[in-house]
A and B are shown apart, each in its own frame.
Chain A
Amino acid sequence: QTVVTQEPSFSVSPGGTVTLTCGLSSGSVSTSNSPSWYQQTPGQPPRTLIFNTYSRSSGVPDRFSGSILGNKAALTITGAQADDDSDYYCLLCLGSGIWVFGGGTKLTVL
């Protein structure tokens, strides 16, 4: 069974840059997997950040960007702010109508 992998945790200083990745336990992630990224704070539903690999959802600051880096999807935050301290999840389509979330990355901004 294919697993979607993410770093369990990451830390970044305010104003710094961090790249979170989203991979597959077998194979490479491509745009065909329709990567999207979601941000979640405690007690709240997820918020859509990035869709279709690269596109920012409405109202999302341009410090968030999506890409493919090597064989993984990536979410980069350039100029991290305190309220970026959240959990981040990627979502991939594995085909045949099956979708899988990554395990999530807990980002600490300090």
Chain B
Amino acid sequence: DVQLVESGGALVQPGGSLKLSCAASGFTFSSHWMSWVRQAPGKGLEWVANIKYNAAGKYYVDSVRGRFTISRDNAKNSLFLQMTSLTVEDTAIYYCARWATSTLPNWYDLWGQGTLVTVSS
């Protein structure tokens, strides 16, 4: 099956760190740009970060730049999000998502089920 499965969500204290993983299967992972999207409780979707298919390009929303790092391991069909200096505002469900193309126009054509990150003391 073509799917994305996130893991690594947890309860973490403010100022702490956490690493999320996303396991991809059923498609050629190394051909696709990938992304993390988050959704705070009761709030809307927020694009967090993108990574090029070969990891040569990475892009971040301003609120996480310098604190979060997106990465990938194409040999293991895996996407990661290393999160540091976490604040309560980072509490959210984090979705792994696949971009449909490598250029514009582009859109998400595959979503994971999400993993919950709770930042609280």
Inter-subunit contact A97/B114 (CB<8 Å): no
**B side interface size, CB within 8 A:** 22
Number of residue pairs across A and B with beta carbons under 8 Å? 63
| Interface-side segment among B8-16, B21-29, B75-83, B104-112 | B104-112
Q: Tell me how many residues of A have a C-beta within 8 Å of chain B.
A: 28
Contacts of A46 in B (CB 8 A): 37, 45, 95, 108, 111
**From DSSP, what is the main secondary structure of chain B's interface residues?**
loop
A89 touches B45 (CB 8 A): yes
B47 near A91 (CB under 8 angstroms)? yes
Assuming A36-B108, A53-B105, A100-B47, what are 13 further A-B pairs, CB within 8 angstroms? A32-B104, A38-B45, A47-B111, A51-B100, A52-B105, A57-B109, A91-B107, A93-B104, A93-B105, A93-B106, A99-B47, A99-B50, A101-B45
* 21 residue pairs bridging A and B, Cβ less than 8 Å apart: A36-B107, A38-B45, A40-B45, A45-B113, A46-B45, A48-B108, A53-B105, A57-B109, A91-B47, A91-B108, A93-B105, A93-B106, A97-B59, A98-B59, A98-B61, A99-B47, A101-B44, A101-B47, A103-B44, A104-B44, A104-B45
